[in-house]
Amino acid sequence: MNNTLSRRQILLGGMGVSISHWLLAKAVSQRDGAGTCTGVASEQVLAIALQRGDPGGHYRRALATFPFQQFSDMVLKAFFIEGGQRPGQRPRNIPMFDIAPSKLLIALRVCADYSMVWLAKEKNDGPIGMNYLDKIGIPHVYALVGAMLAGVDYLTVGAGIPDSFPIMIDAVLSGQLVKYPVPVSEIGRSTFHEMCFDPSGFFGENLPEMKRPAFFPVIASNLLAQVLLRMKKLQGKIDGFVIEGPTAGGHNAPPRDHEVDASGDPVYNERDVVNFRKIADYGLPFWIGGGIASPEKLRWAISEGAVGGQIGTAFAFCQESGMDPELRRRVARLAYEGKLKIRTSSLASPTGFPFKTVEGLDGTLTDPHIQVERACTRGALRTLFRKIDGSIGYRCPAEPVDIYVSKGGLHEDTAGRQCICNGLLATAGLGNSDFPKIVTSGDDLPRLMRALMNGPDDDYTVDKVFEYLAA
């Protein structure tokens, strides 16, 4: 692993969809941090940006350097609209990932992760990483190739047990078939469908020489650190950890004892507290995530043996963030004024993981007056199930209940589930105009906005976050 990376105290949290996009990642890595781009639904992000005419020409600049031009041309031809979509013009259909994606969708995904890393690294020597969620497994084999072609420095992977990533990295480096096992629900047993990608077969020539990115699993317990480090296949292939606590924004690990409060939200107890000294004993660099964005907390993390902190919320609401600027400033102002509450919802996310939602924002998905019709139109969080005829089907607990149940899904799994694919794309200003946004943040949001803003209408930058943390 590159030495400067293991000395960077501030690791930008990977924040989907498109919150920690390349501009934010670049800004953080230029300020002595490590800049993580989010890889969540990046194919949607690239296709939508191209349909909007690629303002600033950034993606076209990146795609002009893609090593297999025939494929980037295919992507541009399919999605780029000169001057952007006209009012009333229907957006081009972006296919959903399934186990047999089209050539165009594969090219789109490889090009998306390539472009994001390439743009974050453009005229920038600082370390740039990619964040993936184990749970969104179908596109990983393509995404990783794109990120590695652009020279990604490290990967942070959470929301599951990401033990297949180092094996995929080896396969990409040695020109082998890249494989990722995606779970398939089946009555009475759990099986996997192996996604396979042969990059040289696909591109028609061998991949250029690439470097090995460092691999940092994002985990929430001593137990998982131990399990991963004991796996034979991972020996020497884990370069460090991000240890994320239950106050962090985004999805959280469920409590070990599965305790819930009266409203069904998770309750964490002392069994969820990580012993960082034990993590430090492994001798690998690690960063602590969740409420670390203060000078005192950062010093405490370092005193526990960590390199520093993985920070999300403080950066999600700064100028360089990928969040829709109007929404971002509204949330920051209301948080500054103490008018918002952060909830850890057991139900909101179709993934089944607890998900932090910002409550008190009229017109967003957490507003009880907002009703949206259930539908699955993006498909990023669909899971696989085995149909009676043995073939594979797809379902998401946020789709219409009767459809989900007709696919063998449990009725109780649909309660309260919302389409966060469309909600999060809307939050990044990339959604359909009529779909409500959904905002996630860490518990620390109100305190942070008061620490970082000079008044309710202030708009702070990445620089301000670094200055505050160094105080």
Ligand X SMILES: Cc1cc2nc3c(=O)[nH]c(=O)nc-3n(C[C@H](O)[C@H](O)[C@H](O)COP(=O)(O)O)c2cc1C
Give the binding site for ligand X (CB under 6 A): 13-16, 19, 38, 40, 131, 133, 158, 218, 244, 247-250, 289-291, 293, 310-313, 316, 440-442, 444
Q: How far is the CB of 11 from ligand X (least distance, A)?
A: 9
Q: For 111-132, b where at least 16 C-beta lie within 10 A, e where not — what string?
A: bbbbbbbbbbbeebebbbbbbb
Q: How far is the CB of 255 from ligand X (least distance, A)?
A: 17
Q: How far is the CB of 344 from ligand X (least distance, A)?
A: 12
Q: For residue 149, what are its two tokens?
A: 């072609």
CA 163, CA 156: separation in Å to the nearest integer? 12
Q: How far is the CB of 158 from ligand X (least distance, A)?
A: 4
Q: How far is the CB of 446 from ligand X (least distance, A)?
A: 12
Give residues with Cβ within 8 angstroms of 168, minimum separation 6. 140, 141, 144, 178, 179, 180
Compute CA distances 231 → 224, 240, 390, whole Å.
Answer: 11, 15, 32
Residue 11's SS3 state is strand
Among all residues, whose Cβ is closest to ligand X?
312
**Which is closer to ligand X, CB of 312 or CB of 423?**
312
Compute CA distances 312 → 36, 230, 256, 443, 462, whole Å.
Answer: 10, 29, 23, 11, 12
Question: 147, 117 in Cβ contact below 8 A?
Answer: yes
Q: What is the DSSP letter of 5?
A: G
**Which is closer to ligand X, CB of 66 or CB of 268?**
268
Q: How far is the CB of 318 from ligand X (least distance, A)?
A: 12
CA torsion sign for 177, 183, 184, 187 is: positive
CA 372, CA 215: separation in Å to the nearest integer? 39
**Which is closer to ligand X, CB of 119 or CB of 248?**
248
CA 409, CA 398: separation in Å to the nearest integer? 11
**Which is closer to ligand X, CB of 78 or CB of 365?**
365
**Which is closer to ligand X, CB of 72 or CB of 345?**
345
CA torsion sign for 374, 380, 381, 384 is: positive
Closest CA to 344 of 424, 245, 447: 245
CA torsion sign for 308, 243, 142, 407 is: negative
Q: How far is the CB of 413 from ligand X (least distance, A)?
A: 22
**Which is closer to ligand X, CB of 166 or CB of 312?**
312
**Which is closer to ligand X, CB of 139 or CB of 249?**
249
**Which is closer to ligand X, CB of 44 or CB of 72?**
44
Q: How far is the CB of 311 from ligand X (least distance, A)?
A: 4
**Which is closer to ligand X, CB of 160 or CB of 397?**
160
Q: How far is the CB of 152 from ligand X (least distance, A)?
A: 15
Pairing of strands 189-197, 178-186: antiparallel
Q: How far is the CB of 327 from ligand X (least distance, A)?
A: 11
Q: For residue 157, what are its two tokens?
A: 């992977």
**Which is closer to ligand X, CB of 129 or CB of 199?**
129
CA 420, CA 252: separation in Å to the nearest integer? 15
Pairing of strands 341-345, 286-289: unpaired
Describe the crossing of helices 69-79 and 103-121 by its angle, rounded to 10 degrees.
Answer: 100
CA 136, CA 381: separation in Å to the nearest integer? 6
Question: 113, 39 in Cβ contact below 8 A?
Answer: yes
Q: How far is the CB of 203 from ligand X (least distance, A)?
A: 28
**Which is closer to ligand X, CB of 80 or CB of 329?**
329
Q: How far is the CB of 241 from ligand X (least distance, A)?
A: 12
Q: How many residues does the chain have?
A: 471
**Which is closer to ligand X, CB of 38 or CB of 72?**
38
Give residues with Cβ within 8 angstroms of 343, minimum separation 6. 265, 356, 357, 359, 366
